[in-house]
Amino acid sequence: MATKVVMAQLSPTMEEGKLVEWKLAEGDPVSQGDIVAEIETDKANMDVEAMGSGVLRKILVQEGATVPVGTLIGVIADPEEDIEPILAEAAVAEPAVAAPAGEPAPGTASLGTPAEEPAPAADVPAVAPAARDGRVKASPVARKMAAELGIELGTIPGSGPGGRIIKQDVEAAAAGAGVPAPGAPAAGAAVAGVAAGTPGAAGIVRLPALGEGRLRDERIEASQMRKAIARRLAESIGPVPHFFLTTEIDMERALDLRAELNAGLDGFKIGVTDILLKTAAEALVRHPEVNASWEGDAIHHHGRVDLGIAVALEGGLITPVLRDAEGKGLRQIAVETADLIERAHARKLMPEEYQGATFSISNLGMFDIEEFTAIINPPEAAILAIGKTREKPVVEEGEVRVRRRMRVTMSCDHRVVDGATGARFLATFKGMLENPLALVL
C-alpha cells in the first residue's frame, strides 16, 4: 500500500516548512522508520521518518522549496504499485510552492539567495553524475559559487545525496586550484572564533578592513525561523503593554564566588549566565506573581520555574528552556545549559525543549552591550535583559572605589506585573547577586 510523505507539523507554531535535503533518491528502497528527508521548521532542522516501507517512487517537492504544512512532498510504494491516483490528487490540491532559493519557479525571475548546504556524505564519487536531462546534479549554492569562480561543474566530484555537488565540494575544488571561495577569509582574517565585527575570545572586536565588505542589491529569502520571529514580535510588542525597569548591580562578590568555584571544578566551568539563571530561579520562587502568564480573563501563576535562555543563531534566535530551574544547583544548571546551547546552535532541539518557558533571560554582555530592552515572548509576563559587566568608579562610604557593575533591564507585561511588583523582584535579584553565598548553600 502506498505511503504519503507529507510536510508534517513538527512544532505547534509551524505553518510551513522548507525541504532542506532528501536523504534518498527516487528509486531507493525505504524501510519504515528510515529518515527520508530533513525539514527546516520555524525553530530547528528536523528529520522526517518513513511511515511505511517500499521504494521512494516520487519526489514532489525539491530541496530548497517551502510548502505549507500538510503538503504531499513524496510517495513511498511498491515498485509496481499504481501511484497515479495519488499524484493526480496532489496535482489538484497543489498549493503555491516557493521555489528553491537561487532557482526561480517556472515563469518567474529569481528572487532569493541560496539556502544553506547539507553536510557532505562519506562516499565521494570520482565525477558528478548527470541528471536525466543531461545537466550536472548540483545545488543552487554550488552552481552560483562555481559560476563566480569560473570552475566547470562537471570537473567537481559531488559528495551530496546521489553524487550531487554541494557548496563544500566547490570550496574544496577552489582550494585545490588556489582560488579563494566567495566569503572565505583571506590571509590575516579573523580565525579561531573571532569573526569580523564580532567579539572574540579575548573580547577584542575585529572591524572589517576598508573595502573588505561587499554591498549587493539583493532580496534574501526569509528562513522559517525569521518568519516565526516576525510573527511572534508582532503578537508581542503590539498587544502586550510593555514597561521597563532598570537597576545596576555590584557583581564583585558574584564574580569572586564564580572564580573560587571554577578553581575546584574539572571538565566544565560555571558561567556568568549560569549564576544569573540560578539567581532568577530563586527570585521567582520568592515572587511567584512574576513567574506568571496572562490568559485573557485570568492570570496563571506557574507551579514551577522554566527559564528560557535566548540564544542567537545565524539568521535568528531560539530560546531553549531550562526546566524546573528552582530545584537545581549551580553545577547542574551549568551542565544542562551548556548542552541546551550546544544543541541549539546545531539546530537539534526538539519542540518541547524550546517552548513553554515561564520567564526568560537575554544576555548581550559578551557583545559589549551595556544596557538594552528585550521584547517579551508571550505568554510569559517578563524577560530580563543583561548588559556587560564593567569596572566603574563608585562612591562608597565617602570614598571612590573601582567596582565591577552590571546593568539589567526587566521588560514587564503590565497586565500581569505592576511597577512595584517588578521592582520588588529586581530588588531580590540584585540582593542575591550582591550577597551570593546563599546560591550555593
Enzyme catalytic residues? 414
C-alpha cell of 25?
533518491
- What is the spatial distance between Cα 225 and Cα 20, in angstroms, rounded to a whole number? 14
Provide the 3-class DSSP secondary structure of residue 229.
helix
Provide the 3-class DSSP secondary structure of residue 424.
helix
Q: How far apart are the first and last CA of the chain?
A: 62
> Cα dihedral angle (201, 202, 205, 209), rounded to 10 degrees?
-90
> Cα dihedral angle (51, 55, 60, 61), rounded to 10 degrees?
70
- What is the spatial distance between Cα 37 and Cα 417, in angstroms, rounded to a whole number? 45
- Please choose, from the candidates 317, 313, 367, 390, the residue with its C-alpha nearest in 3D space to the C-alpha of residue 198: 367
Which residue, chain included where needed, has cell 530580563? 384
Q: What residues are paired with 427 via a beta bridge? A: none
**DSSP one-letter code for 162:** G
C-alpha cell of 209?
578592513
C-alpha cell of 27?
528509486
- What is the spatial distance between Cα 173 and Cα 200, in angstroms, rounded to a whole number? 30
- What is the spatial distance between Cα 379 and Cα 235, in angstroms, rounded to a whole number? 10
